[in-house]
Chains A and B, each alone.
Chain A
Amino acid sequence: MVAIEKNGTIQTFNRLPNEWNDDKGYHINFRKVTNKEDYGFYDVVIPEYDKITQQLSSIFWDADNKVFTYTVSNIDFDATYPELDEEGKETGKTIPAYDKDKLKASIIVTVKADANKLLAPTDWYSSRKSELGTAIPDSVLADRKKIRDKVDTIETEVAALTTVESILKYTYSFAE
């Protein structure tokens, strides 16, 4: 990635544009230039960061290293914002920016949706049994139970999470 500062605004590009117009003239086949710095283009350096718990600043020019880059800062998971009433006035209460209960509930909704997708192909066994009384094969019952047990396990694990970071980083898989 490269970037250039023009009139106080930093413009980024995945790679050099193929055409570029500046006070030196109109450049075509511009990607072939070997001295992009002469035209004001410099590399963009994206520092390593944890995409869940950290965030990047706005891009800025690092004159010492002659690159465009970002600073990394930790996300404030304890941040709050003022509650507003229906008229848009502050009520005096604060609301957490990250609601742990809502985040947990969101995970559980997703887990159950995933479980339903896994159960769906064998749902017909259940319908057949209720309509005709035909027994569901043991292997099918076992597989379906395994899925439900996994949901229970995940729900327990999610309920035990205490920090926003741990909730955001929580992952699960139905695969063995």
Chain B
Amino acid sequence: MALTKITSKVLGDEFTTSSALSGTAIDWTASQVFTKTLSGATTFTYTNDAIGMVKDLVLTGDYAITWPTGTKIISGTYDGSVANLIQVTKTATGQYWLSISKEAV
């Protein structure tokens, strides 16, 4: 039978999985969600990112974080004392819009 609707069942790992990030290079095709507990100042890099893609990162750890050049923070402030949900959208070549949120207590 012909596939007439896209369902989550046919989506690949890059849209449906969460993985712990061991290094600092984020492969945008590896997972939808990346988690990491920082242990020091961290500089993230991207690979396989494409315009329109959105990735989620759950980060903890009270350290400075450096995002690639071209990043714009559109909302939120990183709080090193809790887990932070960071969503990154690639809006154009070399441009990333980033929002930071955390659990409402």
A-side interface mostly: mixed
Binding site for A on B (CB under 8 A): 41, 43, 62-69, 71-73, 77-78, 80, 98, 100
Whole-angstrom CA separation of A23 from B65 in the bound complex: 14
Binding site for B on A (CB under 8 A): 18-19, 21, 23-34
List the B residue with the shortest CB-CB distance to A26: B71
Quick one: given A33-B41, A33-B64, A34-B41, are A28 and B69 in contact (CB under 8 Å)? no
Quick one: given A32-B41, A32-B80, are A26 and B73 in contact (CB under 8 Å)? yes
Q: Is the CB of B69 within 8 A of A32?
A: no
Whole-angstrom CA separation of A24 from B72 in the bound complex: 13
Minimum Cβ distance to chain B for residue A67 (Å): 22
**Among all A-B residue pairs, the 5 with the closest Cβ atoms:** A26-B71, A25-B66, A33-B64, A28-B78, A26-B67
Minimum Cβ distance to chain A for residue B98 (Å): 8
Q: Is the CB of A28 within 8 A of B41?
A: no
A-B contact pairs, 21 of them (CB 8 A): A18-B77, A24-B43, A24-B66, A25-B68, A25-B71, A26-B66, A26-B67, A26-B68, A26-B71, A26-B72, A26-B73, A26-B98, A27-B66, A28-B65, A28-B73, A29-B62, A29-B63, A29-B80, A30-B64, A32-B80, A33-B64
